[in-house]
Structure 1
Amino acid sequence: MGCFTFVKVMMFLFNFLIFVGGAALLAVGIWVSVDGGSFLKVLGPFSSQAMQFVNVGFFCIAVGAVLVLLGFLGCCGAQKESKCLLLMFFAIILIIFIAEVAAGVVALAYSSFAESILKAWATPALQTQYGKDDVVTKIWNSTMTELKCCGFTNYTDFTNSYYYNSHGNSYPPTCCRALNATCTQSDAQQSDVQGCFEQLLSTLKKNANIVGGIAAGICLLEVAAMFVSMYLYCHLDKNIR
């Protein structure tokens, strides 16, 4: 078996696994988005931990769809020896790689800018959707419970919000350290529960080695995928008989 044939077979097998994994993730994402209740019943005792996953069903669908597309392009490109499909595969991987690098640079070098962007998205949701929209409410409840935080910045994100006005001028229970029936402004102020953005940054810093290792591994896989696709692309003409 020549080098070209070996790389072609490995390209096909690797992308077939990506395709299968993406299809499974896509199916689960659709399942939890359409009928999250039955999904939680299947998990049984693990249902509380799964709530985080259920709340990001649409994210799973998006990631699964991208993986299915990449797997399909990679498999067909290698099997059919199609320059067009291999080039499309390379282009998509390159776009994802550039987006990840750009996001990482912005997050590290311009953390205050990233915070302002996230705050511009999060604050209106907390003001108008929390307590009204089930999806937004579940996502924030899960986040605040898991991270032991309150709001994006702090409890003031809920002041005069839909939740605040419809619950007798009170804040979500997670904004108070003592789990009282109602969390008043004085209770929230005395509790001084940290905002979720700062708590998330603190958690990421504590696990910086793990996060960095995962990010580096993903980047290496993407670079390897681009290299292999370009190798096949450049050597196709030499292998045409």
Structure 2
Amino acid sequence: MQCYSFIKTITILFNFLIFLCGVALLAVGIWVSVDGPSFLKIFGPMSSSAMQFVNVGYFLIAAGAVLFALGFLGCYGAHTENKCALLMFFFILFLIFTAEVAAAVVALVYTTMAEHFLTLVIVPAIEKDYGSQKDFTQVWNSTMEGLKCCGFNNYTDFENSPYFKENNAFPPYCCFDNVVNSTDTEACTKKRAEDKVVQGCFKQLLKSIRTNAVTVGGVAAGIGGLELAAMAVSLYLYCNMK
């Protein structure tokens, strides 16, 4: 009974923290969606690019809703000893864990397929919007500057873009290994881009992930371990409830 009471108390406290995190994410997500300009003023210009590339508000609302539901079910189920709530808590965690494992397997085994799929989606967007849509262009400029890369595959992704049609040149990131430190103002022509052979951002991103594989793997393993522990605890409480 002492072990059961201890685990029950820890479960309530742990899920209450998850519940509070969910409430906080929901609040920030709603704030960003309703009053984006105020959010941008506080977090600066970089947040503007991020918000255009991925709708941060909706993402935060979705993540907050999941954490809110998980925290509430776990806390309520443990406190009131409600088997139905604990079972739902276990089921949602199991679905999340399964989705994470499936995503990891796809990322490891089907990297080439993922690259082909993303190429079909991202390259047409570059050809359509780079140079004409300010926010989209800023996002790609920040990405290429940060990763020292050019386009999704390489410089050829920009050949049909509004930027190339207007300037008859590729973005400078396609001709410099380090744009920030470069003082070269010469246009990035096709010949210069071919000579420089700057890697595409997808390959550069994969390289960065592999470089930090231990850190990424450790974080993923830690999250997976917590989820498995939470599922085990919920099953323990479920099976020992009267």
Once the two structures are TM-superposed, the CA of residue 86 in structure 1 deviates from its matched residue by: 1.5
1:221 aligns with 2:226: yes
1:196 aligns with 2:201: yes
Check the 8 A contact 1:15/1:71 in 2, yes or no.
Answer: yes
Distance 1:41 1:80, change over 3 A: same
Task: Give unmatched runs, 5+ long, in structure 2.
Answer: 177-181
Q: Partners in 2 of 1:133 and 1:73 — Cα distance?
A: 44
Equivalent position amino acid for 2:90 in 1: F
Distance 1:5 1:133, change over 3 A: farther
- Equivalent residue, structure 2, for 1:209: 214
Once the two structures are TM-superposed, the CA of residue 132 in structure 1 deviates from its matched residue by: 4.4
Once the two structures are TM-superposed, the CA of residue 150 in structure 1 deviates from its matched residue by: 1.4
1:80-117 per-position Cα deviation (integer Å, ceiling 9, x unaligned): 32222212211111111111111111222222122222
Q: Partners in 2 of 1:186 and 1:104 — Cα distance?
A: 39
Matches within 5 A, 1:68-79: 68-79=68-79
RMSD of equivalent CA atoms: 2.6
Q: Partners in 2 of 1:59 and 1:229 — Cα distance?
A: 27
Distance 1:168 1:131, change over 3 A: closer
Q: Partners in 2 of 1:132 and 1:77 — Cα distance?
A: 53
Once the two structures are TM-superposed, the CA of residue 199 in structure 1 deviates from its matched residue by: 0.5
Matches within 5 A, 1:28-177: 28-43=28-43, 47=44, 50=47, 54=51, 55-56=53-54, 57=56, 58-133=58-133, 136-165=136-165, 167-177=166-176
1:188-233 per-position Cα deviation (integer Å, ceiling 9, x unaligned): 3333221111101111111111111001000001101111111122
Q: Partners in 1 of 2:103 and 2:159 — Cα distance?
A: 31
Once the two structures are TM-superposed, the CA of residue 182 in structure 1 deviates from its matched residue by: 4.7
Once the two structures are TM-superposed, the CA of residue 59 in structure 1 deviates from its matched residue by: 3.0
- Equivalent residue, structure 1, for 2:238: 233
Once the two structures are TM-superposed, the CA of residue 133 in structure 1 deviates from its matched residue by: 4.6
Q: Partners in 2 of 1:14 and 1:3 — Cα distance?
A: 16
Greater shift after overlay, 81-90 or 135-144?
135-144
Q: Partners in 1 of 2:201 and 2:233 — Cα distance?
A: 41
Q: Partners in 2 of 1:90 and 1:141 — Cα distance?
A: 43
1:97-148 per-position Cα deviation (integer Å, ceiling 9, x unaligned): 1111111112222221222222222222222233445554443333222112
Q: Partners in 2 of 1:3 and 1:89 — Cα distance?
A: 21
Greater shift after overlay, 8-17 or 174-183?
174-183
Once the two structures are TM-superposed, the CA of residue 48 in structure 1 deviates from its matched residue by: 5.9
Distance 1:49 1:139, change over 3 A: closer
Distance 1:226 1:192, change over 3 A: same
Distance 1:60 1:137, change over 3 A: farther
Greater shift after overlay, 49-58 or 220-229?
49-58
Identity %: 56
Check the 8 A contact 2:49/2:135 in 1, yes or no.
Answer: no
SS at match of 2:167: coil
Check the 8 A contact 1:125/1:136 in 2, yes or no.
Answer: no
Q: Partners in 1 of 2:67 and 2:3 — Cα distance?
A: 26
Distance 1:79 1:231, change over 3 A: same
Q: Partners in 1 of 2:208 and 2:143 — Cα distance?
A: 13
Task: Give unmatched runs, 5+ long, in structure 1.
Answer: none
TM-score by length of 1: 0.83
Greater shift after overlay, 51-60 or 190-199?
51-60
